[in-house]
Amino acid sequence: MSTVPRQVEDLLRELAPQVLGTLVRRYGAFDACEDAVQEALLAAAVQWPEAGVPDRPRGWLVTVASRKLVDQVRSDAARRRREEALALATPQSALLASAADAVPAADRDDSLALLFLCCHPVLSTPSRIALTLRAVGGLTTAQIAAAFLVPEATMAQRISRAKAAVGKAGGAFAPPEGPEAAERLAEVRHVLYLIFNEGYTATDGTELTAPELSTEAVRLTRLLHRLVPEDAETAGLLALMLLTDARRPARTGPHGELVPLADQDRGRWDRSLIAEGVELISRTLPRGQAGPYQVQAAVAAVHDEAEHADATDWPQVLALYDLLERFGPNPMVTLNRAVATAMVHGPDAGLGLLAELERDKRLARHHRLLATRAHLLELLGEREAAAHAYREAARRTSSAPERRHLTGCAHRLDRSEVPA
């Protein structure tokens, strides 16, 4: 959709889950419906920029996708037996005779049910992410593949297998109820969180960020928050994303180099996102028991509200990380708490916490642990040891911008050791 006007592309992204939800609820056969919706979106992307957006764009897409579905079922001999099972609610005469935008857009919004379906327990986390971006996000397979730096054919296979697995699992197309609903909602939040994190700091590749992923994660989390407005953790997740994404313009320099938080030009931060995020978390936290996303959002708010790095309220940050650790062991949380501890009680105290993390196999040889150790050693004035740790961290990261930054830190310390 790269050549489609932004206004049309945004509209199609917004309507994609609504249209797919309508078709799945009406006809079943998730995989076939998803294919039909993708064809309808492509048709709209071609026609609407020239002919104009229909008066009822959602109805247009529903009708065109329904026609595509009928054609698909009829043309595929292997699926011919499904024709009766689909029990098409719209008569063929109406499908063929009516104008596409004449169908009233009165169907309810099934986006929440669709999000739950894409995060079905039978799917692996990578499959949930891919299917969510395709079915709910409206991204093409090529766009998703490019964002994750994998061949398009590989991503197509992953999405195809995910759709088949969901279809095989069966079940009603409706949000689950009771304890299962809370569990599935937590899985949806986790998938959106992972999408955002991959966009904010790409795991691999030559670029530090993949903005299309973090932007899509924010959009989908806004959608989820609209669907479950009383869920405090969803509000906390949205606030966390807004407060974090606000810093993105200052995270890289003119040549794409990584700029650490302490060195960022805070004048480049998006103040409107910060204001929205602070307002949201300030309104959410007093509701009752805070969850991990809410606490992380509070940490982000403390950083964002500091006028400069030296004004950061590190005791408050440390207290929030102490609270965050109570939700369960998490090595990345402990790593961040070590930094906060160093800023409050000194680098030696932070290094003591890092020594404990070295025994955690999940993080012992992770580049972030090595980079944090290097930073704390530098604060202690142990330049040679810090330079060595920076080089080890650079060797272990698969992100080119992070590698350049860490290598640059090592070179800076090496130069400072040279006598004047």
Number of folded domains in the chain? Answer: 3
Using CA atoms, how far apart are residues 64 and 74, in angstroms rounded to an integer? 15
Using CA atoms, how far apart are residues 199 and 245, in angstroms rounded to an integer? 10
Is 238 within the bounds of a domain?
yes
Question: Residue 100 pLDDT more than 50?
Answer: no
CB atoms within 10 A of CB 150: 15
Q: Are residues 210 and 229 in the same domain?
A: yes
Q: Are residues 61 and 139 in the same domain?
A: no
Contact 95, 63 (CB under 8 A): yes
Q: Are residues 263 and 305 in the same domain?
A: yes
Radius of gyration (Cα) for the chain, nearest Å?
A: 24
CB atoms within 10 A of CB 276: 16
Is 311 within the bounds of a domain?
yes
Confidence of residue 107 (pLDDT cuts 50, 70, 90): very low
pLDDT, tens digit, 9 for 90 and up, residues 396-420: 998 888 999 999 999 999 886 544 4
**What pLDDT is attached to residue 98?**
42
Is 94 within the bounds of a domain?
yes
**What pLDDT is attached to residue 80?**
54
Using CA atoms, how far apart are residues 65 and 27, in angstroms rounded to an integer? 12
Lowest average pLDDT, out of 144-148, 150-154, 345-349, goes to: 144-148
**From the centroid of its chain, how far is CA 380?**
37
Sequence-distant (≥ 6) Cβ neighbours of residue 75 within 8 angstroms: none
Would you state the structure tokens that stand for residue 294, as one six-digit string?
């809410």
**Of 77 and 94, which is predicted with more confidence?**
77
Confidence of residue 93 (pLDDT cuts 50, 70, 90): very low
**What pLDDT is attached to residue 85?**
58
**What pLDDT is attached to residue 206?**
73
Confidence of residue 256 (pLDDT cuts 50, 70, 90): confident
Q: Are residues 351 and 369 in the same domain?
A: no
Contact 18, 109 (CB under 8 A): yes
Q: Are residues 124 and 211 in the same domain?
A: yes
Most confident of 35-44, 235-244, 356-365: 235-244
Is 1 within the bounds of a domain?
no
Is 214 within the bounds of a domain?
yes
pLDDT mean over 104-110 = 55
Question: Residue 301 pLDDT more than 90?
Answer: yes
Q: What is the DSSP string of 288-347?
A: SS--HHHHHHHHHHHHHH-SSGGG--HHHHHHHHHHHHTT---HHHHHHHHHHHHHHH-H
Question: Residue 76 pLDDT more than 80?
Answer: no
Contact 374, 389 (CB under 8 A): yes
Contact 229, 280 (CB under 8 A): no
Residue by residue, what is the 3-state secondary structure of 388-404?
HHHHHHHHHCCEHHHHH
**Of 168 and 243, which is predicted with more confidence?**
243
pLDDT mean over 20-34 = 88
pLDDT mean over 268-283 = 96
pLDDT mean over 246-262 = 91
Helix, coil or strand: residue 346: coil
**What pLDDT is attached to residue 86?**
56
Is 90 within the bounds of a domain?
yes
Q: Are residues 324 and 371 in the same domain?
A: no
Q: Are residues 135 and 281 in the same domain?
A: yes
Q: Which of the listed residues 70, 102, 134 is the one where a domain comes to its end?
A: 102
**What pLDDT is attached to residue 70?**
85
Q: Which of 357, 364, 358, 315 is nearest to 340 (CA)?
A: 315
**From the centroid of its chain, how far is CA 400?**
21
Q: Are residues 264 and 115 in the same domain?
A: yes
Q: Which of the listed residues 102, 137, 166 is the one where a domain comes to its end?
A: 102
DSSP run (H or E) holding 374: helix 367-380
Q: Which of the listed residues 341, 357, 373 is the one where a domain comes to its end?
A: 357
273-279 CB contacts, 8 Å cutoff, 24+ apart: 273/242, 273/243, 273/245, 273/246, 274/242, 274/243, 274/246, 274/304, 274/305, 276/242, 277/238, 277/239, 277/240, 277/241, 277/242, 277/243, 277/246, 277/301, 277/304, 278/239, 278/243, 278/304, 278/305
Q: Are residues 78 and 135 in the same domain?
A: no
* pTM of the predicted structure, to 2 decimals: 0.83
Averaged pLDDT of the chain: 87
Residue range(s) defining the domain that contains residue 127: 111-357
pLDDT mean over 170-179 = 76
Q: Are residues 236 and 371 in the same domain?
A: no
pLDDT, tens digit, 9 for 90 and up, residues 309-340: 999 999 999 999 999 999 988 889 999 999 99
**What pLDDT is attached to residue 319?**
97
